[in-house]
Amino acid sequence: MNARLLIGLYLAVVLLPLVLSALGARPPRSVADELAAGAGMLAYAILLTEFLLSGRFRTVSRQIGIDITMRFHQLLARSAVVLALLHPFGYRNPSMGFDLSALATGIIAWALLALLFLMAIFRDRSDLRHESWRLLHGIGAAVIAGLVLHHVLYAGSLAQDPVLAALWIGLFAVAVLSLVFIYAIKPVLKRLRPWQVDSVRQIAERTWELTLAPRGHAGLRYRSGQFAWISVGRSAISLNDNPFSIASAPGSGDRLQFVIKELGDFTRTLGQIAPGTRADVDGPHGNMVITGRDAPGIAMIAGGVGIAPILSILRQLRLEDDLRPTLLLYGNRNADQIVYRDELDTLAREHGTRVVHALYEPPEDWDGYHGMCDAALIRKVVTQPEMRQWLYILCGPPAMMDSAERTLINLGVPALNIISERFKYD
Ligand SMILES: Cc1cc2nc3c(=O)[nH]c(=O)nc-3n(C[C@H](O)[C@H](O)[C@H](O)COP(=O)(O)OP(=O)(O)OC[C@H]3O[C@@H](n4cnc5c(N)ncnc54)[C@H](O)[C@@H]3O)c2cc1C
């Protein structure tokens, strides 16, 4: 399914309840009441489709990428919350009156939605573990969706319309089934294709290389630049997994290699993981891939552990003997954070990749670039006019990516030639 079709399908689903209600025969009511009802319906349709935009469905993230999927998820959630919060205040003369007992489920859902929204906004400032947050977010959204369904079917003036009622029940069922698929069916499917830890080794300051091997199956078919949700030594349930870019090249065999920086609960325990430990892999996800994108050259801008998907792309280009010119700008704080330095040197020597290291706390004898992968460095290396037609791949800290993207666009690189992936959603 291509991206346009996906967006068209999304709009059709979200707008269908509004269209059906406009076509249905009902007693006339004031414009304010129509707008209030419309806001409520739109909010509920958006809320129900949010379950499919959770970043766990490959059909979605493979087409539009995980960044866009999650940005849509957040933007649409905010729109749904605004519409839902406005919904009760718009009414002047609601058909079911102001009977609180008839409105109870709607009122509870409204308050829970406001709470869920505040939790999402302040989650980084709370002490809540990421896994607990995900559980609360999923369960909270499902409870709200159930309460609103009751509200729509028993308190709404549209409840008498059987077609609309069937549509709401159908959309609610799809939302619930998507949770069942992620949290019950996917773990079983993962258990049928088990993996195990092949090796774990520290390759730089607070940075580990984790290699997984398939146990009794052919492994994963992926494209370089994609990522997978993995869990190691824990239950296969999807709450326990974390997303990591695949750093190995698809053409290099059935093992999957990851480059992982210590950050929190799971990543800080990497050093204690023993070879042979059972692992689960859900993937491949994402579309930061170069296949199908013709470009006369490829430039990659990586910051820190953002090198992971870029390594996969560079390794695959080398395996395929791709003769297009390649450039890598690789930024780190200090020299101890650079990973696979020898391999990058070999790549420069044998494959002709121009590798530019940037350090903003360099050692005294450093002869590379002093600073970050910033606008100044990009302007220094992207000099030839033909480089405007190249493909640019960005992965690293959000500030670096924003600045790199702005600089490239100012240099005349078309936005469509820039692809990127963020490791964190804000
Ligand atoms: C598409 C993608 C690819 C990634 N690739 C890599 C990679 O190749 N190498 C690497 O080191 N890191 C990568 N990350 C980041 C990595 O997923 C987090 O660092 C990791 O999940 C933290 O897990 P933890 O249990 O150690 O931390 P936790 O204690 O669970 O959380 C610490 C912080 O990490 C973030 N985080 C945790 N889990 C997730 C999650 N499931 N989704 C998004 N953010 C999360 C949250 O902001 C949280 O506050 C990637 C992230 C994404 C979204």
Q: Dump pLDDT digits (tens) for 94-126.
A: 666 666 666 889 999 999 999 988 888 887 777
Q: Are 303 and 241 in contact (CB under 8 A)?
A: no
More confident: 208 or 287: 208
Query: Closest by alpha carbon to 300, among 381, 210, 406?
Result: 381
- Residue 140: per-residue pLDDT: 92
Ligand 1 centroid–CA 155 distance in Å is: 42
Q: Are residues 200 and 313 in the same domain?
A: no
190-213 pLDDT tens trace: 889 999 999 999 999 999 999 999
CB 152 within 8 A of CB 158: yes
Q: How many whole angstroms separate alpha carbon 49 and alpha carbon 16? A: 12
Mutate which of 125, 244, 339, 340 for ligand 1? The one with the most ligand atoms within 8 Å of its CB, which is 244
C-alpha 237 to ligand 1 mean position (Å): 17
Q: Are 43 and 134 members of one domain?
A: yes
Q: What is residue 98's predicted lDDT score, i.e. its pLDDT?
A: 62
Residue 258 Cα to ligand 1 midpoint, Å, equals: 13
Q: Whose CA is nearest to atom 29 of ligand 1?
A: 264
Q: What is the C-alpha separation between 237 and 187, in angstroms, rounded?
A: 5
Dump pLDDT digits (tens) for 147-173: 999 998 887 666 678 888 899 999 999
- Whole-number Å distance, alpha carbon 242 to ligand 1 midpoint, is 6
Query: Which has the closest alpha carbon to 152: 141, 142, 138, 167?
Result: 167
> What is the reported pLDDT for 146?
95
Q: Is residue 211 domain-shared with residue 318, that is, in the same domain?
A: no
Closest ligand 1 atom to residue 131 Cα is 30
Query: Which ligand 1 atom sits nearest the alpha carbon of residue 267?
Result: 26
Query: Which amino acid residue places its CA nearest to atom 33 of ligand 1?
Result: 264
Domain count, the chain: 3
Question: 52-81 pLDDT, tens per residue?
Answer: 888 788 888 777 888 888 888 989 999 999
Same-domain check for residues 54 and 158: yes
Q: Between residues 247 and 10, which one has the greater pLDDT?
A: 247
Question: In 232-252, which positions are buried (b, 16+ CB within 10 angstroms) versus exposed (e)?
Answer: bbbebbbbbbbbbbbbbbbee
Nearest-atom number in ligand 1 for the CA of 308 is 8
Q: Are residues 91 and 29 in the same domain?
A: yes
Give the CATH number of the domain where residue 391 resides. 3.40.50.80
Check whether residue 303 and residue 382 sit in a common domain. yes
Distance between CA atoms of residues 320 and 322, nearest Å: 5
Q: What is the pLDDT of residue 159?
A: 63
- List all residues whose CB is within 6 A of at least one atom of ligand 1: 66, 130, 227, 242-245, 258-261, 263-267, 286, 305, 308, 421, 423-424
Residue 259 CA to ligand 1 center (angstroms) comes to: 12
Distance 111 CA to ligand 1 centre (A): 30
If you compute the radius of gyration of the chain from its CA atoms, what whole number of angstroms results? 25
Query: Whose C-alpha lies nearest to ligand 1, atom 7?
Result: 244
- CA-nearest residue for atom 39, ligand 1, is 242
Same domain, 174 and 245: no
The reply to whether 340 falls in a domain is yes
Only one residue has tokens 């820039």, namely: 418
Whether residues 180 and 202 share a domain: the answer is no
The whole domain housing 112 covers 3-190
Q: Whose CA is nearest to atom 40 of ligand 1?
A: 242
The full DSSP string for 129-198 is: -HHHHHHHHHHHHHHHHHHHHHHHHHTSGGGG-HHHHHHHHHHHHHHHHHHHIIIIIHHHHHHHS-EEEE
User: Is residue 356 included in any domain, yes or no?
Assistant: yes
Q: Is residue 290 assigned to a domain? A: no
Give me ligand 1 centre to Cα 32, in Å.
45
- Residue 347 sits in the same domain as residue 399: yes
Torsion sign (Cα): 205, 207, 213, 218: negative
Nearest CA owner, ligand 1 atom 37: 130
* 150, 55: one domain: yes
What tokens appear for 320 in the block? 């395929």
Which positions ≥6 away from 20 have C-beta within 8 Å?
161, 163, 164, 167
- Under 8 Å between Cβ of 229 and 235: no
User: Is residue 203 one of the residues assigned to a domain?
Assistant: yes
Can you tell me the mean pLDDT for 127-136? Answer: 82
**Paired sense of beta strands 195-204 and 207-214, if any:** antiparallel
Query: Between these two residues, 372 and 97, which has the higher pLDDT value?
Result: 372
Q: CB-side exposure of 168: number of CA atoms within 13 Å?
A: 27
Q: Which one has a higher pLDDT value, 426 or 65?
A: 65
Could you tell me which residues are beta bridge partners of residue 391? 298
Using a pLDDT cut of 90, give the percent of the chain over it: 60
* Mean per-residue pLDDT of the chain: 89
Provide the token pair at 171. 């959309």
Q: Do 98 and 171 fall into the same domain?
A: yes
